[in-house]
Amino acid sequence: MMHDEVVSRLRHVLTEGEIPPGARIPERELCASFAISRTPLREALKVLAAEGLVVLLPNRGSRAAKLTRKDVKELFEVCEALEAAAGELACPRISDAQLREIAELQAGMVEHYRAQDLLSYYRCNRLIHEAIVRAADNAVLAGFYESIAARIRRARFITPMSPEHWALAIQEHEGILNALQRRDAGGLAHILRNHLRRKREEVVRAGFAEGE
């Protein structure tokens, strides 16, 4: 198995998967489940530690990182800046096909909203934001965004939404699509910023924190 594959599999285990924040990372077990030795696994652990997904305790192993309130605040602040930048860059660069893709995702998302299917809604939502970042056509930005998104995902896409916020979010997304179609970079950046800021407030209000 290739190095990058180990990293992304481990990332998956930590973000989507079986190891909850704060839990000890069972080196031995993961080696067995990935069918590799400790050396490449430990290399991957160091990479994810640099990303902030893993904390290494000297001589005491590694644990899945827990998000503190401050982490959430910082991650949202940077996420705001990155998504706004992505929006601005995407406007002049996005292709018609990409626009169509986002419009379709948006339609699907509205459907899921109508059906009050939060999980599917969040999936569409996430895909839209990722599509905008992709449309910005900037690998560095995409890499940072992916790294932030991986850390913040639980806070961002799991926190339940109030009906009012949900309705507002839908409205904002209409605005996002509209600004993209009009290639209104400044407007899009502004909407994205507000969109994220509101989400952050909701998350903070929900008191999200995995530990200090």
> How crowded is residue 205: how many other Cβ atoms within 10 Å of its Cβ?
11
Identified binder of DNA from the candidate list 8, 58, 74, 104, rule CB under 7 A: 58
Q: Which residue has the tokens 């530990």?
A: 211
Q: Answer yes or no whether residue 61 interacts with DNA by CB under 7 A.
A: yes
Q: Answer yes or no whether residue 164 interacts with DNA by CB under 7 A.
A: no
Q: Which residue has the tokens 């292709």?
A: 95
Exposure class string for 171-187: b at 16+ Cβ within 10 A, else e? ebbebbbebbeeebbeb
Kind plus residue range of the DSSP H or E element containing 74: helix 69-93
User: Angle at the Cα of 71 (from 66 to 75), degrees rounded to 5?
Assistant: 120
User: Using CB under 8 A as the criterion, which residues of the chain lie in contact with a copy of itself when the complex forms?
Assistant: 2-3, 7, 39, 42-44, 46-47, 50-52, 56, 58, 71, 74-75, 77-78, 80-82, 84-85, 89, 138-141, 143-144, 148
Contact by Cβ (8 Å): 148, 82 = yes
The nearer residue to DNA, 62 or 106, going by C-beta atoms, is 62
Which of the choices DNA, a copy of itself, none does residue 24 contact, using the CB cut-off of 5 to 8 A by kind?
Answer: DNA
Binding mask 15-54 for DNA (x = CB under 7 A): ---------x--xx------xxxxxx-xx-----------
The nearer residue to a copy of itself, 112 or 130, going by C-beta atoms, is 130
Task: List interacting residues with DNA (CB under 7 A).
Answer: 1-3, 24, 27-28, 35-40, 42-43, 56-62
